[in-house]
Chains A and B, each alone.
Chain A
Amino acid sequence: MAEFFSDSVRTAITSLAQHKLRSLLSIVGIVCGVSTVLAIFAIGAGAEAETMRRIGQLGLNNIYLRADNLTEQQIARARRYQSRGLQIGDLTRLQTTGLPIRRTAASRDQRVELAGLPDDVQGRVIEATRDYRAVLGLTMAAGRFLADRDLADRNRVCVLGWSVSAALGADGKPGALIRIGSELWQVVGVLDRRDVDAAETGRISLLDINTMIIVPLGTLGAAADGEPVSELIVELATVERIEAATVVIAGTVRAAHHGVDDFSVIVPNELLSQAREIQRLFTIVFGSIGTLSLIIGGVGIMNIMLAGISERVREIGLRRAVGARPDHIVVQFLSEAVLLTTLGGLLGLAGGWALARGVSLYAGWPIVISSATIVLPLLMALATGCLFGIYPAFKAARMDPLQALGYGE
């Protein structure tokens, strides 16, 4: 049996080697198909991972309410209906809705300067509540985050992002005093470094946590419940029925604002679904192109095999005469198809890798090449080879041995 298989492979190699150019041309389609499929998988997986990373950082259980920049018309309407914009009090109202709210947080952007930062580090001061860290899943590199007493007593303490702390050197460590605006503030903690770029993800511009200086809400400007806040974040205990919860939250806050639409609702989970849908379409379109190439490749394989069979009729007849069964002939010719597609598949993997790398370098998209992105296109190529090799192989096996040997011609 082993001899039979090694003979089948040897015969296949010999037959293909005798017609190198023809064999190479016949696998062009397979090479293109596998290249495209691998590149699609690699780019798709890269985009998925990147989207997950970006959106995941916003918290998939979270619902963001962000204060809008209002038009004059909206400002007039807000005045008329006495809406004071997003308020920390909106969070208190949401607690009465019965929604499974785990935590809430509020933040307010402040346009004040932090003294002592080098030019290349853009520090951004925001006021925040205690649970801001937990809601965003931030971790501490040193010290602590803001506590209830900091907010209650309006303590002049701050938590620094990693790059700000690094830029300030010894002055950026817990216990040090830094100047924000005209006052001195004590550093109580430093956040862990978080890999994120400030690129757009859907409608959200991700905050660069590393450049933040976080102070207790109500310490820089008006009291916590005075001026409007920039952002309210509601973390639900469960991601289930997040759409329904979003409707309730938006409705409750809008009612409190007397129907004034002065905020936007952002649901990272929905953004993820949208991103996935776009990627699904991308995969379907380019996957179809890859599949079409594979089909064309399969036709190429079938073509060369049919040509090979008509050239090797006597060989088929002889093999049958010395004891080959029809299934032996099927295996012999299928080996040829499998060998061709394997060769095409391997070349396609190399091409796909180069294509994915090229796209990644040119467009700056991340790519992920895993065992699945390699094995799957190769399996698709092999399946194509088998599928399109079956007809010629059975055609060879069905030949009458005597006619194949030239008797009765």
Chain B
Amino acid sequence: MIVELRGVCHGYRRGADLVEVLGGVDLCLDPGDFVAVMGASGTGKSTLLHILGCLLRPAGGSYLLDGEQLQGRPERELAALRSRRIAHVFQMFYLLPHLDVVQNVALPFLYQEGLSRSEVRYRVDDAIDRVGLGQRRKHRPAELSGGELQRVAIARALAPRPDLILADEPTGNLDARTGGDILDLFQAMNDDGHTIVMVTHDRHVASRAGRLVTLRDGTLHDG
């Protein structure tokens, strides 16, 4: 089991009130799982994704990644996990405009130690080839289409060969055809053995995942 969430809860302070968003979420993921998380707006889909991505510490419960308890780990260890083992794909792509495709994809490696320059170069080139942008290596984000931008973001997630890829509405900013291509890419990544959790509010998109879970009233439900 690669991910094991037990009784994870979290809330936000809104004025004087504490609004509970997650009220005891349990989730287990095996290597190679492709899970879509659905739910109405404000049900905590992104919050769940951020907890899985170590960008947010849950208020309660436990999170085991590959059997290791992450609760209470110092920030530097969580940062190391984010650069090596967990990758994010955002709806807004978040590419750095002054860097070209290669430099954007290589970004996580800036914060990793122990890999040789040639190994980094190989992984970056491999990831760019896998998302079909081999001809666009030296292009800057301003010279790319929306679909290409998301492919660069996916290559950036793929390059460090993470255990877990987390995608937050990855097709939300794309037209239907381009979105379909991106979903094909996720499908191919999953076929290669990557574990993927994708948040979406689109049932058609969710149908591409192998497993569907829905957040309702702060807890996860299958289907």
Which B residues are CB-close (under 8 A) to A402?
50, 55-56
Which A residues are CB-close (under 8 A) to B12?
408
Which B residues are CB-close (under 8 A) to A407?
46, 50
**CB of A318 within 8 Å of the partner chain:** yes
Tell me the nearest residue of chain B to A2, going by C-beta. Answer: B117
Which B residues are CB-close (under 8 A) to A317?
94
A123 to chain B, nearest CB (A): 76
Which A residues are CB-close (under 8 A) to B109?
3
Given A11-B98, A407-B50, A323:B117 Cβ within 8 A: no
A113 to chain B, nearest CB (A): 83
Which B residues are CB-close (under 8 A) to A7?
103, 110
Which of chain B's residues 129-160 have a Cβ closer than 8 Å to chain A? Answer: 156
Tell me the nearest residue of chain B to A408, going by C-beta. Answer: B12
Which of chain B's residues 36-74 have a Cβ closer than 8 Å to chain A? Answer: 46, 50, 53, 55-56
The contact string, 1 if C-beta is below 8 Å from chain B, for chain A 394-409, is 0000000110011110
Given A3-B117, A318-B94, A407-B50, A324:B76 Cβ within 8 A: no
Given A11-B98, A14-B98, A318-B94, A323:B112 Cβ within 8 A: yes
**CB of A4 within 8 Å of the partner chain:** yes
Do B79 and A320 have beta carbons less than 8 Å apart?
A: yes
Selected contact of B82 from candidates A3, A315, A321, A406, CB within 8 Å: A321
**CB of A170 within 8 Å of the partner chain:** no
Do B46 and A322 have beta carbons less than 8 Å apart?
A: no
B20 to chain A, nearest CB (A): 16
Selected contact of A405 from candidates B76, B90, B113, CB within 8 Å: B90
Cα A3 to Cα B117 with chains together (Å): 9
Do A406 and B92 have beta carbons less than 8 Å apart?
A: yes
Tell me the nearest residue of chain A to B94, going by C-beta. Answer: A318
The contact string, 1 if C-beta is below 8 Å from chain B, for chain A 290-330, is 00000000000000000000000011011111111110100
Cα A307 to Cα B117 with chains together (Å): 34
Tell me the nearest residue of chain B to A13, going by C-beta. Answer: B98
Do A322 and B98 have beta carbons less than 8 Å apart?
A: no
Given A7-B110, A323-B84, A325-B75, A315:B156 Cβ within 8 A: no
Interface size class of A (residues with CB under 8 A): 20 to 34
Given A3-B117, A14-B98, A405-B94, A321:B110 Cβ within 8 A: no
Which of chain B's residues 92-109 have a Cβ closer than 8 Å to chain A? Answer: 92, 94, 96, 98, 103, 106-109
**CB of B80 within 8 Å of the partner chain:** yes
**CB of A1 within 8 Å of the partner chain:** yes
Tell me the nearest residue of chain A to B117, going by C-beta. Answer: A3
The contact string, 1 if C-beta is below 8 Å from chain B, for chain A 184-221, is 00000000000000000000000000000000000000
Tell me the nearest residue of chain A to B107, going by C-beta. Answer: A322
Which B residues are CB-close (under 8 A) to A325?
75-76, 79, 111
B5 to chain A, nearest CB (A): 18
Cα A68 to Cα B79 with chains together (Å): 84
Do A314 and B94 have beta carbons less than 8 Å apart?
A: yes
Cα A191 to Cα B136 with chains together (Å): 82
Which of chain A's residues 377-409 have a Cβ closer than 8 Å to chain B? Answer: 401-402, 405-408
Selected contact of B111 from candidates A14, A15, A18, A328, CB within 8 Å: A328
Do A4 and B110 have beta carbons less than 8 Å apart?
A: yes
Do A322 and B113 have beta carbons less than 8 Å apart?
A: no
B181 to chain A, nearest CB (A): 23
Cα A315 to Cα B56 with chains together (Å): 18
B115 to chain A, nearest CB (A): 10
Do A1 and B96 have beta carbons less than 8 Å apart?
A: no
Do B107 and A319 have beta carbons less than 8 Å apart?
A: yes
Which B residues are CB-close (under 8 A) to A328?
110-111
Cα A4 to Cα B75 with chains together (Å): 19
A312 to chain B, nearest CB (A): 9
Which of chain B's residues 160-190 have a Cβ closer than 8 Å to chain A? Answer: none
Cα A327 to Cα B87 with chains together (Å): 21
Cα A408 to Cα B12 with chains together (Å): 10
Cα A323 to Cα B157 with chains together (Å): 12
**CB of B83 within 8 Å of the partner chain:** yes
Given A3-B117, A407-B50, A323:B90 Cβ within 8 A: no
Given A1-B113, A11-B98, A407-B46, A322:B90 Cβ within 8 A: no
Tell me the nearest residue of chain B to A11, going by C-beta. Answer: B98
Which A residues are CB-close (under 8 A) to B113?
1
**CB of B194 within 8 Å of the partner chain:** no
Which B residues are CB-close (under 8 A) to A4?
110-111
Cα A405 to Cα B91 with chains together (Å): 11
B44 to chain A, nearest CB (A): 12
**CB of B123 within 8 Å of the partner chain:** no
A19 to chain B, nearest CB (A): 12
Tell me the nearest residue of chain A to B50, going by C-beta. Answer: A402
Which A residues are CB-close (under 8 A) to B108?
322-323
Do A322 and B50 have beta carbons less than 8 Å apart?
A: no
Besides the known contacts A322-B83, A323-B80, A402-B55, 13 further A-B residue pairs in the complex with CB atoms under 8 A apart:
A4-B111, A7-B110, A18-B98, A319-B111, A320-B82, A323-B110, A323-B112, A324-B83, A324-B110, A401-B55, A405-B90, A407-B50, A408-B12
13 contacting pairs across A/B (C-beta < 8 A): A3-B110, A3-B117, A14-B98, A320-B55, A320-B82, A321-B53, A321-B88, A321-B94, A322-B107, A323-B83, A326-B75, A328-B110, A402-B55
Binding site for B on A (CB under 8 A): 1, 3-4, 7, 11, 14-15, 18, 314-315, 317-326, 328, 401-402, 405-408
Ranked 5 nearest A-B pairs via Cβ? A323-B83, A323-B111, A322-B108, A14-B98, A325-B79
